[in-house]
Amino acid sequence: MKIANFSSVFSLCYSVFSVAKNFQNSIYAIVGPTASGKTEIGVELALKIGSGEIINCDSVQIYKEIKIATAKPSVEEMRGVPHHLLDYVPPNINYTAADWAQDASAKIKEIEERGNVPILVGGTGFYLRALRHPFFESPKPDEKLRAKLKEIKETKGAEHLYKILKRVDRKSAEKLFSRDYVRVSRALEVFFQTGKTITELQPNRAEPPEFARRIKVFVLNPPRACLYERINKRAAKHFENGLVEEVELLRERGVNDDTNALGAHGYRRVCEYLRGERSLESAIEQTKQDVRNYAKRQMSWFRREKDVIWLDGFGDDAKLQQKLWQMLK
């Protein structure tokens, strides 16, 4: 009887040890469209693991001072789970995907040295790709060239820049959306600064970090109609909660309209309203449309990513959370 009991206890301990070891060898990424419940399931996963720490993977939540339209988790929503790269850089700094990949790599190392498990949470697929597949060493931004490209966008539209890119670097253009101004303009900057296309420079990219192969990516896939309904309600609530006043205060503090921070959804339209370029009602409705379009682009992006696991539903659904937990055991 004692031998049997000892055997049972040993098996249980071995099982627990194996699960813990599996968690410690893994890095998790919870990604998906905006308003899909990534924060909720990310925090729940961290608590289930018991030693999880979250690294923000959202290009808007990275900025300090902008809060209302970013859906940053509150202290209550964090539930005691450590969060990193959140409220991280001043809003006047144009923080890049390469910057984030470098800082996220350092955080992953820190977290694992503590014996804890890194969990990347956010919807910026470009950030995640930069971490898993590092960029080549590109030239430093040319502010005069960047200003010229911005002027072209404002006078002729982002699609005009895309047409230029198709002429000089068709392969890169085929991988981008015609209205993806940030990445289209960056590809043009590289070409005009180096005389070479990003495609030509790709072989010079750095090797992926050791931990890249250990990142398990889970993509939330909620029903589109329900997602759009959530987006509309959340966008309206941001305006009700003082988004216009927040932008007014930021501008008074010297944050420029053309920064990445104030170029984000909601903030960009409020700036247009404050400049007299549209009505408040138009700003609200256009923000809803912008965010719905953004969610659609996010889903298209993640469908092109390799080695990801799809989870149908919202992250705050208890059944979906249980399904994820069972998959990880």
DSSP 216-243: EEEEEE--HHHHHHHHHHHHHHHHHTTH
Q: How confident is the model at residue 206 (pLDDT cuts 50, 70, 90)?
A: low
Q: How confident is the model at residue 191 (pLDDT cuts 50, 70, 90)?
A: confident
Least confident of 62-66, 178-182, 314-318: 178-182
Q: Which residues pair with 56 in a beta bridge?
A: 121
Q: Which residue has the higher pLDDT, 326 or 313?
A: 313
User: Rounded distance, CA 32 to CA 179, Å?
Assistant: 20
Least confident of 99-108, 157-166, 229-238: 157-166
Domain 143-202 top-level CATH class = mainly alpha
Q: How confident is the model at residue 3 (pLDDT cuts 50, 70, 90)?
A: very low
Q: Where are the domains of the chain?
A: 22-135+206-328, 143-202
User: Rounded distance, CA 282 to CA 91, Å?
Assistant: 25
What confidence tens digit (pLDDT) does each residue in 10-26 have? 344 434 444 444 556 89
Q: Which residues pair with 30 in a beta bridge?
A: 121, 218
Q: How confident is the model at residue 171 (pLDDT cuts 50, 70, 90)?
A: confident
Residue 284, pLDDT > 50, answer yes
- Measure CA of the first residue to CA of the last residue in the chain; give whole Å: 30
Q: Are 26 and 214 in contact (CB under 8 A)?
A: yes
pLDDT at 135: 66
Residue 100, pLDDT > 60, answer yes
Distance set, CA 120 to CA 18, 41, 196, 216 (Å): 23, 11, 33, 10
Residue with tokens 């008074």: 252
Least confident of 176-185, 238-247, 253-262, 266-275: 176-185
Which is it for strands 52-56 and 215-221: parallel, antiparallel or unpaired?
A: unpaired
Residue 149, pLDDT > 90, answer no
* Percent of the chain's residues with pLDDT above 70: 88
What confidence tens digit (pLDDT) does each residue in 247-270 have? 999 999 999 988 888 988 899 999
Mean pLDDT score of the chain, rounded to an integer? 87
Q: Collect all residues with Cβ–Cβ distance below 8 Å to 289 and sequence separation of at least 6.
A: none
Question: Which has the closest alpha carbon to 101: 70, 71, 138, 74?
Answer: 138
Q: Which residue has the higher pLDDT, 247 or 3?
A: 247
Q: pTM score, two decimals?
A: 0.78
Q: Looking at domain 22-135+206-328, which of 3.40.50.300, 3.40.50.1360, 3.20.20.140, 3.40.50.720 is its CATH number?
A: 3.40.50.300
Q: How confident is the model at residue 204 (pLDDT cuts 50, 70, 90)?
A: low
Q: At what angle do helices 181-194 and 158-168 cross, to 10 degrees?
A: 40
**Residue range 190-201: average pLDDT?**
80
Q: Are 136 and 205 in contact (CB under 8 A)?
A: yes
User: Rounded distance, CA 316 to CA 185, Å?
Assistant: 36
Q: Are 54 and 119 in contact (CB under 8 A)?
A: yes
What is the DSSP secondary-structure string of 252-269?
HTT--TTSTTTTSTTHHH
What confidence tens digit (pLDDT) does each residue in 29-70 have? 999 999 999 999 999 999 999 999 999 999 999 999 999 999
